[in-house]
Structure 1
Amino acid sequence: MNPGRKIVRATIVIFLLTFLSRFLGLGREMAIAYRFGATGETDAFMLALTIPNIFYNVIGTALAAVIVPVFEDYEIQGRRPEIWRALSVIVNFIIVAMGTGVLLGATGSSFIVRALGPGFPPETMQLAINLTALMMPSIVLITLAGVFGGILNANHVFGPVALGPVAMNLAIIVSALVGFYHWGIYNLALGTVTGALLFALIQIPALRQVGFKYAFLLNVQDPAVRQMLKMIGPILIVTGVFQIYSVIDVRFASNLEAGSIAALNY
């Protein structure tokens, strides 16, 4: 297939999957609204969901952005094995460092929730604490998904990256509609973690196809790793600034009547 046709084909695939993801995103909100409405329970879930969303939008997006130019640079120089090692370091660092942070965050979720939702009544506060602890693993999973997406984009593979949000939205929709009667809002949290897992896993076969060579390395002094870390600072600042608004929204809405945070999301 000639390059022109490849570009057209990739564009069509991305467009269709993005459209499907947006459509299912609407379906996700409708499913949550249908089952849980605008209530204190939904407020607690939306607050807990804010945390993994921030990590993905800030760290996951920033890592994906810096991987592409560094990968291209090493690819041009014929140093692909070196960039695979560097990317393995990034993946391992996320698993080890962020995994440790997730464990600490799960045990200290009460501090996080009180900082984000200081106006919650006691029962909503406790529910938000429980949901936050339950959804903490999704932070690692969704950040890994962002890194995997960056690797695939650098290799001009876009379909699995666009398919990830589709799988995540489907998982949340199913959890809202099917498990509602058994575990209530907790099933929605489990669906979110499952969706984040699918988001990451769905990209792994494509990673193998592009030749990603995983190795258990933690050498943060690797030149490619250092190059990415130097580039990531400004991107983190820009993406982080945009997330401040969501934090402010949640904090203020937590002081209003029950369902206010949910209403903002709907």
Structure 2
Amino acid sequence: MSKVLGFFRETALAGVFGATTATDAYLVATIIPWMLFSVVGTALSTTLIPVFTQRVHDEGEEAGQRFINTLVNFILLFCLVMVIVGAFGAPWIVKIVARGFQGEAVNLTITLTRLLLPMMVFLALTAVLTGYLQAEERFTWPALVGIPFNVIMILAIIISGKSFGIIGVAVGSVLATASQILIMLLVLKGRNIATGW
């Protein structure tokens, strides 16, 4: 379902905005939060589940929850710092990532990059919660997060095409990424995980 919606998302973006400077700027700007997130994303994907499982095995469920909460707080702080650094460094990052851009394309990409950088916080928190749920052998909810993400993106593209332009799509991207956390928090309700941010 998520893959099908992802196809419609890409189709909607191409249909509404076409092969324009705005589309190029948006696509490049979306790369930058992912690029910065990969610094912590790789570490999370390879170490979170085994470390959490070992902590639970050695010290119990409560110790495992403390580990996740500590990790959430650290990741949140780290990513917020990265967002601030990225916002100030956006002009230089864009020049490195999009060397062929000039004039208005550069300025638009810088603006979109600054709007999209908060995605990194939501991506990191989603990765932590996904790892935790998978360690608990709960795979359904992490698999569902792509559905609200794509639905919100499609709506943002259609609405922004007439009213807000590519800026609205960038805002929609941030909201869509944040929705993934809300989905997983529903299943975590009542636990002491990720509630002490």
Which TM-score applies when normalising by structure 2?
0.92
The alpha carbon displacement at 1:214 in A equals 4.2
* Equivalent residue number for residue 84 of structure 2: 103
* Equivalent residue number for residue 47 of structure 2: 66
Q: Percent identity?
A: 32
Structure 1 residue 49 corresponds to structure 2 residue 39: no
Contact 1:152 1:158 in 2 (8 A): yes
Contact 1:134 1:189 in 2 (8 A): yes
The alpha carbon displacement at 1:77 in A equals 3.0
Contact 2:53 2:64 in 1 (8 A): no
* Equivalent residue number for residue 109 of structure 2: 128
The alpha carbon displacement at 1:165 in A equals 1.6
* Equivalent residue number for residue 69 of structure 2: 88
* Equivalent residue number for residue 173 of structure 1: 154
Q: What is the DSSP-based 3-state SS (H/G/I as helix, E as strand, rest coil) of the residue aligned with 1:24?
A: helix
Consecutive aligned runs of 4 or more in structure 1 exceeding 4 Å deviation: 55-58, 214-217
- Candidates 157, 166, 179, aligned match of 1:198: 179
The alpha carbon displacement at 1:78 in A equals 4.7
Cα distance in 2 for partners of 1:160, 1:150 equals: 11
Q: What is the DSSP-based 3-state SS (H/G/I as helix, E as strand, rest coil) of the residue aligned with 1:167?
A: helix
Contact 2:56 2:62 in 1 (8 A): no
Cα distance in 2 for partners of 1:189, 1:25 equals: 16
The alpha carbon displacement at 1:76 in A equals 2.6
- Candidates 152, 157, 163, aligned match of 1:182: 163
Contact 1:71 1:154 in 2 (8 A): yes
* Equivalent residue number for residue 3 of structure 1: none
The alpha carbon displacement at 1:138 in A equals 0.6
The residue type equivalent to 1:49 in the other structure is: T
The residue type equivalent to 1:106 in the other structure is: A
Cα distance in 2 for partners of 1:31, 1:145 equals: 25
Cα distance in 2 for partners of 1:43, 1:71 equals: 40
Q: What is the DSSP-based 3-state SS (H/G/I as helix, E as strand, rest coil) of the residue aligned with 1:127?
A: helix
Q: Which runs of 5+ in 1 are unaligned?
A: 1-19, 218-266
The alpha carbon displacement at 1:61 in A equals 5.0
The alpha carbon displacement at 1:93 in A equals 1.1
Contact 1:61 1:146 in 2 (8 A): no
* Equivalent residue number for residue 5 of structure 1: none
Partner deviation per Cα, 1:3-50 (whole Å, 9 max, x = no partner):
xxxxxxxxxxxxxxxxx1111111110000001111111110000111
| 1:176 to 1:215, Cα distance in 2 relative to 1, 3 A | closer
**Bigger Rg, which one:** 1
* Equivalent residue number for residue 138 of structure 1: 119
Contact 1:60 1:147 in 2 (8 A): no
The alpha carbon displacement at 1:56 in A equals 5.0
The alpha carbon displacement at 1:62 in A equals 3.6
Report the more deviating stretch, 77-86 or 191-200: 77-86
The alpha carbon displacement at 1:145 in A equals 0.5
Cα distance in 1 for partners of 2:186, 2:42 equals: 21
CA RMSD after TM alignment: 1.9
Q: What is the DSSP-based 3-state SS (H/G/I as helix, E as strand, rest coil) of the residue aligned with 1:28?
A: helix
Contact 1:56 1:146 in 2 (8 A): no
Q: Which runs of 5+ in 2 are unaligned?
A: none
Q: What is the DSSP-based 3-state SS (H/G/I as helix, E as strand, rest coil) of the residue aligned with 2:163?
A: helix
